[in-house]
Structure 1
Amino acid sequence: MPSAPAQPCVVLLVDSKVRDLPVAALLAHHLEKHGLNARLEPLEAYQGVLAAHRPRMIVFNHLTASHLAAYSRRLHALGVLTAVLPNEGIFYNHDDLVFNSGRYHAQAHIDCFFCWNHVHAQALREHGGQAQTRIEVIGVPRFDFYFEPWSRLYAPLPRPPGQRPVILLCTNFATAHYWELPRSEGDKFFAAWKDRIPLYRNYWQAIEAHFKGRQKVLAFLQALLERDAYEIVLRPHPREDASFYLRWLGTLPEHWQRQVRVDALSNITSLILGCDVEISCETCTTALESWIAGKPTIELLLEQNPLWYCAEPSACNVHCSHPADLPALVNAALQQGVPEELKAKRRAHLAKWCHSPNGHSAETLARLIAETLARASEPDWTQLDWTDRRRAWKWKLTHALDQPYHYDPSLVVKHWLWPGRYRVKYFSQCKGIRPSEAQQMRQKIAACLNGQIEAPAPSP
């Protein structure tokens, strides 16, 4: 097995390659400026990386699950530091905030917790119950891509004269598919929250709200298509199955199909920077990102289930409740931009919940990690056992095959034969990063900084 690297190693666990890989690569860039060795691995490799990389620190997106909490205690016993950088760090509901601040998982050992905002940081101090945890507010690292020089990675090309305005519609129905799966799948997904957070107790109503909202949004899309004046980019939530929209699109007349592009793979930053108006479905982080980019936003009011809708961010958007009203609202946004009365509200909301994004969050985070590791001792690697070494050999094999750590070569066939049974596992494998994808993204970050990034291809 590999010996400990000369440079202290930090493992960054990546949950979703579409949403989280670019910011992990950006953070790796900043970490290496501090003389650290940064490794990007899929979230599911959290055990395999231990003997494979012998890291000084592992950065998780959460440690609320019981098995991860138990693992964090083992890492502490070894001397490996644990850090949490949430990929979703806004908790508008108080009970949700308390849960995600550690009340129910205080058994996890966390050395560093990097928060999006002071609201979360204060809740961690009140409910986390871990005096040793270093709590820092750093903002939202992935929002750095809305600022120079990192925005070059996603900056759109100038449009040719006469091109239609681009309308980005972001759907947000991450649990709609559970309505059509065996009930046990939805029960399993909400098991960690349903008995601990009052907001989640009626989770089947919330699932139904997503299922109904997904169907309702098609009428809003049709209203835009009937106007025959826009290029529409439909962006499903990373946890949605884009095939639902592709099947619907296939039922439309050909001249309508040409107006819509379903894009589930592009980074959301590129889509927001390239649009003229963003439309979100009730409470969605994409609206906040659009504010940062200075884009007019429209919020579709659908089922307004309390799990998916919050009045505070909604107050910063233009609202639409009826499909027939949407084209006029889009035209007003194109002609007038962001209403003056909303600009101050947006700035205040971003200051409170996102620490006033300025493009330096990842840089700040890397500095804090470097400061922490400068005081840390080498872990006790004599405690590694046979299971750790076996997992390291599995990591070595999947790495050689350019596959994520949890790769299962039979899963494609299983999912094809029994899509309902294997949907969750198949989705998990598809969102995991491959070694080549991590390397390519790191090369893009370097090229972006050096002014060598290639211009993106024009929109079709």
Structure 2
Amino acid sequence: MVLKVGLIVDNPLRDLEGLVLLAYQLAKKGHDCWLVPMYDQTFDVRAIGLDYLVLNYLRPNNVDHAKLYMLEGVKVAVLDTEGMAGRSAEEFAGFVNKTGFASKLNAYFVWGESQFRAVLDEGAVPKETLFLTGCPRYDFCAEPWRKSLPPRKVDLPYVLVNTNFALTNPRFSAGTGTELQNMLKVGFSEESALRFVQDAKLAQNGMIELVQYLVEELPELQFVLRPHPFENTSPYEVISHRGNFQIRQESTSVEWVNHALALLHLNCSTALEARMLGVPAITPAWLDTDEIRIPGPHAVSMHCQTREELLEVMSDLSRQDYSRDLNVQGGDELLRQLYFRIDGKASERVCEAILDTAARPANRMDWGRPSIRTVWLTRFRGLMGYRLFSWLLGVFNPQKRPENRAAKYFSVNQVGEIVQRLYKVDPLPKQVNVSAMNEAELPSRKMASGRSICIHASLGDGA
């Protein structure tokens, strides 16, 4: 039986490449895999008639939708794109357990050993539906998939600066107040959330001043600043007039780290990606605080205690003087706890778990009823269809118009380019096809957004 599997894509900059790899693995097994934009899922899941859906998270705001999908006969799993959400495995497990619904899912995939144990100890997910897989997007940090990464996008060697201030500098929400409310919804106390925001604002200002200082002091060294995919670029444009500085927000963080001389960051998980790829990670320790500190990136980074010390390190890089040891000892055990195995096989493990749980009998347990509001809103969407509902939504809330969410969408060409790169390092005995949504071929064309993309395989040679 050919399964129709849906993968929710939250932010293409961060998530698309790893999910295309997972879809590629499913296509190798002969199944149809749909990449579904997060904001269009309530339409496209029903338009396509999916058998199995992999959500990008389970939080209080989407539990009702998960219940409705399952009541409609769709098997539902979670591969959390924020698999290190919270500052510890225990905090992450608390987020998973907060909904009270994770135990009802067909599968829950976690990234690392510490999260796996914490979720089990919390009792959030039963052992038979909890899978330790790693995260597919980090398969590109290992062979053979590292060979599929694109070539360097900057002519000269560069230091990569990754910022991580989506809360105080949001790209997609109305502002910090909205992000603060989201923190409260997932379980932060008001006091803790307010302290975090305060410290994060100070840290962001400090990072801007630091990068401006380094760029001016080291004109011979190239700097590429890549904000978090959920960050606005405008606060960093104050530095953009300098010839040795660029702001780049396209492509994945793994691609940028892979070609960097070093990574400069403050509590950014890309420090762990740098560790996977053998690139030194450096952090300005004087800007850090207990409230914003994230243990994993902190542990694998070289800590510079003053601006002058950091300048010396960067001066060595500009002279290509590598006598200073920038590598932090240890870290392999930490990677295993957070990401399981960096072996290029996380996508295979998720694929096998999807097929395993898809073959199991459907759950017959009491899932609890979704809210009346969600039920009636879903019916209203069905009556109106995608185009009319989206137009009305944009009238009442212009921020939700499709053109204002362009960064959340992806194209057939983007997906096809990734598939071509994968095929070069892993040619298949089957032809891999990338297809746009053809509304005429769907069970419910009225519900189709036209934005989801299918990856599937057929007999033949080439890709």
TM-score w.r.t. length of structure 1: 0.78
The equivalent position to 1:249 in structure 2, one of 213, 231, 239, is 239
- Choose from 276, 285, 297 the match for 2:269: 285
Indicate yes or no: 2:355 matched with 1:359.
no
The alpha-carbon deviation at position 38 of structure 1 amounts to 0.3
Partner of 1:107: 101
Matched to 1:166, the amino acid is Y
The answer for the alignment partner of 1:301 in structure 2 is 285
The counterpart of 2:63, out of the listed 66, 69, 89, is 69
Contact 1:12/1:58 (CA < 8 Å) preserved in 2? yes
Shift of 1:392: 9.8
Structure 2 counterpart SS, 1:335: coil
Cα pair distance change 1:309/1:120, threshold 3 Å:
same
Q: Provide the residue aligned with 1:237 in structure 2.
A: 228
Counterpart of 2:144? 149
Q: Answer yes or no: is the 8 Å Cα contact 1:220–1:324 preserved in 2.
A: no
Structure 1 segments unaligned to the other structure (5+ residues): 1-5, 399-404, 416-421, 452-460
CA distance in 2, matches of 1:56, 1:306: 45
> C-alpha displacement at 1:176, in angstroms?
1.6
Structure 1 residues 72-97: Cα deviation after superposition (integer angstroms, max 9, x where no partner): 22222233111111112124436522
Q: What is the SS of the residue equivalent to 1:375?
A: coil
Equivalent residue in structure 2 for 1:432, among 409, 417, 422? 409
C-alpha separation in 2, matches of 1:238 and 1:140: 18
Choose which of 29, 42, 54 in structure 2 pairs with 1:59. Answer: 54
C-alpha distance in structure 1 between counterparts of 2:277 and 2:37, whole Å: 29
CA change 1:348–1:424 in 2 (3 A) is farther
What per-residue deviation string (whole Å, max 9, x for no partner) do you get for residues 250-302 of structure 1? 5x4xxxx2101100112211111111111111x21100000111011101225
Matched letter for residue 75 of structure 1:
Y
- For 2:259, the equivalent position in structure 1 comes to 274
State the SS of the aligned residue for 2:203. helix
Aligned counterparts of 2:136 and 2:418: Cα–Cα separation in 1? 16
Structure 2 CA distance, aligned partners of 1:389 and 1:151?
A: 45
Q: 1:208 to 1:181 in 2, by over 3 A?
A: farther
Correspondence 1:308-387 to 2 at 5 A? 308-311=292-295, 313-332=297-316, 335-336=321-322, 339=325, 342-343=328-329, 345-376=330-361
8 A Cα contact 1:300 1:320, kept in partner: yes
Question: Which of 192, 203, 208 is residue 213 of structure 1 equivalent to?
Answer: 203
Q: Which amino acid aligns with 1:34?
A: K
CA distance in 2, matches of 1:235, 1:241: 11
Tell me, yes or no, if the aligned pair for 2:115 and 2:337 is still in contact at 8 Å. Answer: no
Q: CA separation in 2, counterparts of 1:166 and 1:375?
A: 50
Measured at CA, do residues 186 and 113 of structure 1 come closer, stay the same or move farther in structure 2, by a change above 3 Å?
closer
State the secondary structure of the residue aligned to 2:328. helix
Q: Which moved more, 1:329-338 or 1:113-122?
A: 329-338
Q: Contact 1:296 / 1:337 at 8 angstroms: preserved in 2? A: no
Aligned AA (2:306): H
Written as runs of structure 1 = structure 2, the 5 A alignment for 1:384-403 is 391=382, 394=385
CA deviation profile, 1:322-352 (whole Å, cap 9, x unmatched): 3332221124565337848724x12121122
Task: Give the Cα separation in 1 of the matches to 2:341 and 2:57.
Answer: 23
* Structure 2 letter corresponding to 1:231: Q
1:27 aligns with 2:22: yes
Question: Secondary structure of the residue that 2:57 maps to in structure 1?
Answer: coil
Cα offset for 1:353?
Answer: 1.3
Matched, 1:188 2:178: no
Residues 446 and 10 (structure 1 numbering): CA distance in 2 closer, same or farther, change over 3 Å? Answer: same
Q: How many residues align?
A: 412
Query: 1:312: how far off?
Result: 5.2
1:32 and 1:113 map into 2 onto residues whose CA distance is 21
1:162-173 matches, within 5 Å, as 165-173=157-165
Rounded Cα–Cα distance in structure 2 between residues aligned with 1:392 and 1:450: 44
Partner amino acid, structure 2, of 1:446: Y
Structure 2 match to 1:458: none
| Secondary structure class of the residue paired with 1:352 | helix
Letter in 2 for 1:174: A
* 1:383-436 CA distance string (max 9 Å, x none): x999569549845x69xxxxxx9689968x987xxxxxx499976552233455
Cα distance change, pair 182–354 in 1 and its aligned pair in 2 (3 A): closer
Asked if 1:134 is matched to 2:129, the reply is: yes
Aligned mates of 1:110, 1:217 — CA distance in 2: 41
- Answer yes or no: is the 8 Å Cα contact 2:10–2:38 preserved in 1: yes
3-state SS in 2 of match to 1:306: coil
Q: Secondary structure at the match of 2:292?
A: coil
Matches of 1:290 and 1:114, distance apart in 2: 23
What SS does the corresponding residue of 1:202 show, helix, strand or coil?
helix
Unaligned runs of 5+ in 2: 365-374, 429-463
Aligned-partner Cα distance in 2 for 1:342–1:58: 40
- Does the 8 Å CA contact 1:36/1:370 hold for their aligned counterparts? no
Mark the CA change 1:153 to 1:133 in structure 2 (over 3 Å): closer, same or farther: same
Judge conservation of contact 1:95–1:197 (CA < 8 Å) in 2.
no
In the alignment, the residues of structure 2 paired with residue 7 and residue 21 of structure 1 have an alpha-carbon distance, to the nearest angstrom, of 23
State whether residues 40 and 438 of structure 1, in contact with CA within 8 Å, keep that contact through their aligned partners in structure 2. Answer: no
The offset of 1:167, in angstroms, is 0.5
Give the CA RMSD over aligned residues: 3.7
